[in-house]
Amino acid sequence: MSSELIESVESIIVDVPIKRVHKFSATSITTQAILLIRIRTRNGVVGIGESTTPGGPWWLGESVESMKLMIDSYFSPALIGSDALQIPEVLRKLNKIAALNSFAKAGIEMALFDIKGKVFNAPLHQLLGGLARESVKTCWPLAIGDIDRDVAEAEHLLSENLAQEFKIKMGYREPKEDVAFACSLASALLSRGATVRVDINQAWDEGTAHRWLPVMIDAGVSVIEQPVQGWNHEAMARITGKYSAQVLADESVCTLQDALKIGSLRFADAFALKAMKSGGILAAQKIAGIAEAAGVPCFAGCFLEASIGSSAMVSLACALPNATYGSEQIGPIWLKEEIVEDPVEIRDNRIWVKHGPGLGVTLSEEKLQRFRRR
């Protein structure tokens, strides 16, 4: 039986500039901080993983700094000497060392899959069962928060055939202004032939959601992402099916146990899958299986990863029969510069799977040196 014993684990923080400001419900960024994880085996096989949070610790408590500390102090000693090919066994070890820390664990698992793909000369999608499709439809997050600049960005993407579907990021204004902004932007986008979703990033309570969702739906919004707190599955269930728009659960579905509640509560029309929030690709694949059993489609969500994490998620989405809800894996062109030699491709309004061994991307040493945090 082949084995690939781990010799070293490196965690490197890089700060990569983005093309424009990006506003989330809780923060605003102009640079994306990424934690790169490079694992080397005694046979000289090198795997790369990426743990990226959306501009800091607000989403699930982890940041690049906290992940680096966890990896260097706790995970790395347990990884050294372990067999990189036995991924579930390695994850079991990590879960025994530390609860939670799903982003850090996902980045490590990603590097292990990269190693496995290189050892067996297989792309990640083959390791996950094979392709259901070669590409996923782009859903682009508009997050500048300025109507003219957001419309200009959408017009550019529409004219270049990079995206036809847009997601308006909300939650950082008072609901009344937030909704007025989203409705104006939605009508500008709809008049240009686009389709429009909104992501409220759990900024509202249930009453606020019932007050304002119908207004946005009247304005033509077709998908509502996470209007209320992630833990409030019951409120999500009361919103789902009440309105003509579909409800997409993001923060509400991180664990397998969250996903299982779809059977009893029917709290969403679709799930956003993300390797980071669930502790890895294998966990996200299992969540997609639960969704499939419930007849629920999946969306390949993202934390605005570079092409390393993007390739991992697009490979997963392309290997899942029920990942039919598109993908927001737009990091490769949202970043001002990529950190790999061979970024994930976005064209024809779709994001395309990589076919090289493992993640199919090669880290640029020049970019690594340039963007590395000193």
Residues at the interface with Mn ion (CB under 5 A): 199, 250
Of the two residues 11 and 327, which places its CB atom closer to Mn ion in the complex? 327
Nearest residue (CB) to Mn ion, 41 versus 202: 202
Closer of 153 and 199 to Mn ion (Cβ) = 199
- What minimum distance in Å lies between the beta carbon of 59 and Mn ion? 9
105 is catalytic: no
116 catalytic, yes or no?
no
Longest dimension (CA), the chain: 62
Which of 101, 202 has the CB closer to Mn ion? 202
Q: How far is the CB of 301 from Mn ion (least distance, A)?
A: 6
Nearest approach, Cβ of residue 197 and Mn ion (Å): 10
Nearer to Mn ion, 62 or 250 (CB): 250
Q: Which residue is nearest to Mn ion (CB)?
A: 250
The DSSP bridge pattern shows strands 195-199 and 165-169 to be: parallel
Catalytic residue, chosen from 153, 165, 305, 328, is 328
CB of 250 to Mn ion, least distance (A): 4
User: Of all residues in the chain, what percent are helix, strand and coil, respectively (each to 5)?
Assistant: 40, 25, 35
Q: Measured from the CB atom, is 39 or 253 closer to Mn ion?
A: 253
Contact 38, 10 (CB under 8 A): yes
Among 116, 169, 261, 354, the one annotated catalytic: 169
Residue 301 phi/psi, 5° resolution? Answer: -80, 175
CB 307 within 8 A of CB 351: no
**Is the Cα torsion angle 198, 170, 59, 111 positive or negative in sign?**
positive
Structure tokens at 260: 């299982």
Torsion sign, CA atoms 10, 13, 17, 18: positive
Other C-beta atoms closer than 10 Å to the C-beta of 302 total: 26
**Helix residue spans in the chain (DSSP H):** 64-70, 76-79, 87-97, 102-119, 124-127, 147-159, 175-190, 206-218, 233-239, 256-265, 275-278, 281-293, 307-319, 331-334, 365-371
Nearest CA-CA partner of 228 in 246, 244, 243, 213: 213
Q: How far is the CB of 164 from Mn ion (least distance, A)?
A: 19
Nearest Cα to 136, choosing from 304, 305, 282, 353? 353
| Smallest distance from Mn ion to CB 303, Å | 9
Active site amino acids: 169, 328
